[in-house]
């Protein structure tokens, strides 16, 4: 009888070979205690967190935590229902209001995760004879949104304006088109040329969706993301975002100014056929989003952290994903998975957690040590982090 698990044998073999060398499993870390947005206890050891996407450090904000506790008391632990049946409480409406205010947009729709927001909006908006034009390095949730729908999928080379332009030109003028872009691409931390791409897309009659998961709260004057920073947010039809990064909890959303947007609540299957977020989660999210509106000082400090880490790692001799810091993600490029895993473990032993990222999540088969900074990392911590990278780099032979 065929074993349906056989298809995973190559991956099982690769993992076994890696772990046989005695390395700690990089995909099985447990945080025994979390002290703050920047420090946890892992394997009994105090560990600086540099791979959490907790960009604005809202997870332990006293107002945010208090709002969650109150909602638990007032509304219970969960809704046990779909948004369109018994799963919309006052808190769900309140967090959608907070999003409308944050983005200054007419409509906001909250999903149970950011993954489901992309899955739902992309699969629902682009029908059978429509085209989805997307960057080849798009996040898995975007590809899965394409796979869940049945539109025609046209990829273009990463951040290549001319490649997008050519494809838009060759598509039938009368066909429906959705261009899907990301503000910050999370693997290398690079930013999209949205100004040019959004203008080209609109000129070709396409609607534009921008995933701003990794820029919310941090990039742009009001923290609305790369589209705001590049002055094209009014031309974007859909912004997708998440509560699991700067907002500091879990959940996803789409905001839009389209007059017919609300119909999505009835036709979008990943919105309808799942349980809504627990009351405590939407309460923490709403409180956090409102506080993020007024966080210019934290944004400035996060940029300082990002610049300092980028310059410091470069000076040490590491190869980085971008020539200049473009976001709060700094990706350190490793020569191969074995070296990457060894370096990851050496950093953990030093007391630093980063993400080890590998194909298929990464572009061009790269192995990355991905660092994401937090506005609450202190200057001293960034100094400590650089010291740990230097020590781990020498211990593993990454640095001479």
Partner 1 sequence: MSDRQQIYARTVELIAPYNKKGVAITEATRFAQDLEWDSLTVLDFVAGIEDEFDVIITMNMQAEIETVGQLVDALQRLTAARA
Instruction: Using CB under 8 A, list all residues that contact partner 1.
Output: 131, 136, 146, 152-157, 163, 166-167, 170-171, 363-365
Complex with partner 1: residue 78 or 193, whichever CB lies closer: 193
HSE-up of residue 137 (Cα within 13 Å, Cβ side): 20
Residue 341 has φ and ψ, to the nearest 5°, of -65, -40
**In the complex, least distance from residue 166 CB atom to partner 1, rounded to whole angstroms:** 7
Radius of gyration for the alpha carbons in the chain, expressed in angstroms and rounded: 21
- 20 vs 174, beta carbon nearer partner 1: 174
> Do you know the residue count of the chain?
400
Q: Which is nearer to partner 1, 33 or 166 (CB)?
A: 166
Decide whether 151 or 226 has the Cβ nearer to partner 1: 151
Give 171 or 272: the residue with its C-beta nearer to partner 1.
171
Q: Which two tokens stand for residue 322?
A: 């971008």
CA distance 19 to 327: 33
User: For 205, left (φ over 0), alpha (ψ -120 to 50), or beta?
Assistant: left
Q: Within 10 A of 275 (CB to CB), how many other CB atoms are there?
A: 15
Name residue, tokens 């030109």. 169
In the complex, the smallest distance separating the C-beta of residue 261 from partner 1, rounded to whole angstroms, is 27
As a whole number of angstroms, the distance between CA 312 and CA 228 comes to 29
Measured from the CB of residue 202, what is the shortest distance to partner 1 in angstroms? 20
Distance of alpha carbon 286 from alpha carbon 244, whole angstroms: 13
98 vs 132, which CB is nearer to partner 1? 132
- Residue spans of alpha helices (H) in the chain: 9-20, 62-75, 90-103, 114-125, 140-148, 161-170, 194-203, 226-229, 264-267, 269-272, 279-292, 296-316, 337-350, 379-396
> What is the DSSP code (8-state) at residue 4?
G
Give the containing element (helix H, strand E) for 387.
helix 379-396
Task: Give the Cα separation of 252 and 114 in Å (integer).
Answer: 4
Q: How distant, in Å, are the alpha carbons of 131, 201, 209, 230, 270 from that of 197?
A: 16, 6, 11, 11, 28
Q: Which is nearer to partner 1, 203 or 364 (CB)?
A: 364
CB of 238 to partner 1, least distance (A): 21
3-state class (DSSP) for residue 239: strand
Residue 31 or residue 153: which is nearer to partner 1 going by CB? 153
Q: How far is the CB of 344 from partner 1 (least distance, A)?
A: 24
CB of 122 to partner 1, least distance (A): 14
Closest contact distance (angstroms) between CB of 136 and partner 1 is: 6
Pick the closer one to partner 1 by CB: 126 or 328.
126
CB of 268 to partner 1, least distance (A): 22
Q: Which helix (H) or strand (E) holds 342?
A: helix 337-350
CB of 18 vs partner 1, minimal distance in Å: 21
3 state DSSP class of 351:
coil
């Amino acid at each position: 009888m065929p074993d349906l698990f056989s298809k995973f044998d190559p991956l099982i073999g690769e993992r076994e070979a890696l772990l046989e060398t005695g390395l700690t499993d990089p995909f099985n870390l447990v945080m025994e205690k979390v002290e703050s947005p920047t420090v946890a206890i892992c394997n009994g050891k105090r560990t600086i967190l540099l791979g959490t996407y907790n960009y604005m450090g809202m997870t332990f904000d006293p107002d945010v935590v208090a709002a969650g506790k109150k909602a638990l008391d007032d509304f219970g632990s969960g809704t046990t229902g779909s948004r369109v049946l018994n799963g919309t409480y006052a808190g769900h409406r309140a967090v959608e209001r907070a999003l409308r205010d944050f983005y200054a947009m007419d409509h906001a729709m909250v999903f149970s995760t950011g993954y489901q927001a992309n899955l739902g909006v992309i699969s629902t908006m682009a029908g059978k004879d429509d085209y989805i034009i997307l960057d080849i390095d798009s996040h898995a949730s975007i590809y899965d949104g394409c796979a869940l729908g049945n539109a025609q999928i046209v990829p273009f080379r990463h951040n290549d304006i001319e490649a997008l332009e050519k494809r838009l030109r060759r598509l039938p003028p009368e066909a429906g088109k959705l261009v899907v872009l990301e503000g910050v691409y999370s693997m290398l931390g690079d930013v999209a040329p949205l100004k040019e791409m959004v203008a080209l897309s609109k000129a070709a009659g396409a609607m534009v969706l921008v995933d701003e998961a990794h820029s919310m709260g941090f990039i742009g004057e009001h923290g609305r993301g790369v589209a705001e920073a590049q002055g094209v947010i009014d031309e974007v039809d859909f912004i997708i975002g998440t509560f699991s990064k700067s907002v500091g909890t879990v959940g996803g959303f789409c905001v839009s100014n389209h007059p017919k947007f609300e119909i999505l609540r009835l036709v979008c299957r990943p919105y309808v056929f799942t349980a809504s977020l627990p009351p405590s989660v939407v309460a923490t999210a709403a409180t956090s989003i409102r506080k993020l509106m007024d966080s210019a000082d934290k944004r400035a400090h996060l940029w300082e952290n990002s610049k300092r880490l980028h310059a410091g790692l470069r000076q040490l001799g590491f190869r980085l994903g971008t020539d200049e810091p473009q976001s709060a993600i700094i990706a350190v490029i490793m020569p191969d998975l074995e070296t990457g895993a060894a370096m990851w473990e050496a950093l953990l032993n030093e007391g630093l957690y980063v993400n080890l990222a590998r194909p298929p999540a990464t572009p061009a088969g790269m192995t990355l040590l991905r660092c994401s900074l937090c506005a609450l990392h202190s200057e001293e911590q960034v100094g400590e982090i650089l010291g740990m990278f230097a020590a781990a780099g020498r211990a593993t032979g990454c640095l001479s």
